[in-house]
Amino acid sequence: MIQFKPLADWGFPSFNRPLLIAGPCSAESEQQVLETSQKLKSIGAHALRAGIWKPRTRPGSFQGMGDVALSWIVEAGKKTQLPVMVEVASPKHVEVALKAGVDMIWIGARTTVNPFLVQELADSLLGVDIPVLVKNPINPDLELWQGAIERLWKTGITRIAAIHRGFSSYENSTYRNKPNWEIPIELRRRFPTIPLICDPSHICGNTFMIPYVSQFALDLQFDGLMIESHLEPKSALSDAAQQLTPDELFVLMQNLELRKPTADSPIELSRLEDLRDQIDEIDTEIVDLIANRMAIARQIGKYKYKNNVTILQPERWAEIVRSRTDKAVSQQLTRDFILKMYNIIHEESIFQQTTQMSQEKNANEQTLKQ
């Protein structure tokens, strides 16, 4: 199993959970970067961030100040005694960022989606001892996210963290990028020791939802937050709607509640274990019931082969969806959940029937040959 270094061993000054990485979406001027950094230092930020090269969707948009801004953030880091980080999207970016003295780098969502480019970045970091944070790809593809992390690990980098910034979607949503929380949760299951950072700025796309998303992330035991902050958000050259002022960020951090992974009281802990035991018993029953359901599906497969009946029965499936979702809603379950669950069950049922019909056909052909 891959073992990542915990954030406490990354060398952050005065580290405490949650880790706070903050700074403007874009470095716009030397004065802006320095004044913002000093303010963020005063409210307890652990690290400073700023966009230097901005991967914008369309040409003509503000694409960052480029190489010249590297010295601004590095100098701000020296004056505040905080580590600084920038986004890199090419080996050239890595080269000039390291030469300028940047302490950490992050790989953006538009880069993580491209394994060829991630490998080039990994190769450019070979032998370099620098923390690297990897944002999820823009599309909800866990394998791409995991693959990017593994490519970096293989170069010898052990200070790797994952940044959850949400996923693009064509669906109407209250989020700029849908959080799809199940994806970072599964990433943590696969990599139990990887530090997990939430980027509520890009998930929300606005400031009023950032407190809710930040708290939700901490309730899921995320290790920290990466939040965009600007002295005058309304005048920001990029992503103005999602940037908090340092003062607003301070209030947000003060109001966040840090929960414990377990109860302190032996009595309360025992009560939790009793409830978990009940869950375990129910889960065993669920697995047994699904196995029994699939056994019946195989019998149905035999019947359909014998009587030359199609596998998919749309009217029957529509009735199952209607009746099961109605029953689920009446028992305080969500319609979306039951639909997802039965889609998975139906997919497995079709597979079982198809396999059974294939076996029946093969057996019948063997009998005819004899």
Query: Are residues 211 and 115 located together in one domain of the fold?
Result: yes
Stretch 131-152: mean pLDDT, rounded? Answer: 97
Per-residue pLDDT reduced to its tens digit, 275-296: 999 999 999 999 999 999 999 9
C-alpha distances (whole Å) from 288 to each of 147, 293, 345 are 34, 9, 13
Are 106 and 87 within 8 A, CB to CB?
A: yes
Query: Are residues 333 and 230 located together in one domain of the fold?
Result: no
pTM of the model: 0.82
Pairwise CA distance, residues 366 & 370, whole Å: 6
Residue type, 101: G
Q: Which of 198, 229, 255 is the last residue of a domain?
A: 255
C-alpha distances (whole Å) from 336 to each of 55, 215, 324, 326 are 35, 24, 12, 11
Stretch 102-106: mean pLDDT, rounded? Answer: 97
Domain hosting residue 79, numbered range? 7-255
Count of CB atoms situated within 10 Å of the CB of 75: 17
Pairwise CA distance, residues 302 & 359, whole Å: 9
Are 222 and 214 within 8 A, CB to CB?
A: no
Per-residue pLDDT reduced to its tens digit, 167-223: 998 877 899 999 999 999 999 999 999 999 999 999 999 999 999 999 999 999 999
pLDDT (0 to 100) of residue 129: 86
- Any idea what the CATH number is for the domain that residue 298 is in? 1.20.59.10
Query: Are residues 245 and 337 located together in one domain of the fold?
Result: no
pLDDT mean across residues, the chain: 93
Query: Are residues 302 and 239 located together in one domain of the fold?
Result: no
pLDDT (0 to 100) of residue 199: 98
**With pLDDT > 70 as the criterion, what percentage of the chain qualifies?**
99
**With pLDDT > 90 as the criterion, what percentage of the chain qualifies?**
83
Query: Are residues 288 and 251 located together in one domain of the fold?
Result: no
* Cα atoms found within 13 Å of the Cα of residue 262, Cβ hemisphere only: 10
- Any idea what the CATH number is for the domain that residue 38 is in? 3.20.20.70
Query: Are residues 354 and 282 located together in one domain of the fold?
Result: yes
Give the helix/strand (H/E) hosting 366: helix 335-369
Query: Are residues 214 and 310 located together in one domain of the fold?
Result: no
Query: Are residues 280 and 185 located together in one domain of the fold?
Result: no
- Is 126 a member of any domain? yes
pLDDT (0 to 100) of residue 291: 96
Pairwise CA distance, residues 85 & 45, whole Å: 13
Pairwise CA distance, residues 24 & 232, whole Å: 10
- Does the pLDDT value for residue 58 go beyond 80? no
Query: Are residues 231 and 343 located together in one domain of the fold?
Result: no
Closest CA to 47 of 215, 227, 201, 241: 227
- Is 279 a member of any domain? yes
Query: Are residues 208 and 335 located together in one domain of the fold?
Result: no
The tally of domains found in the chain comes to 2
Query: Are residues 38 and 58 located together in one domain of the fold?
Result: yes
- Is 260 a member of any domain? no
- Is 340 a member of any domain? yes
Query: Are residues 118 and 239 located together in one domain of the fold?
Result: yes
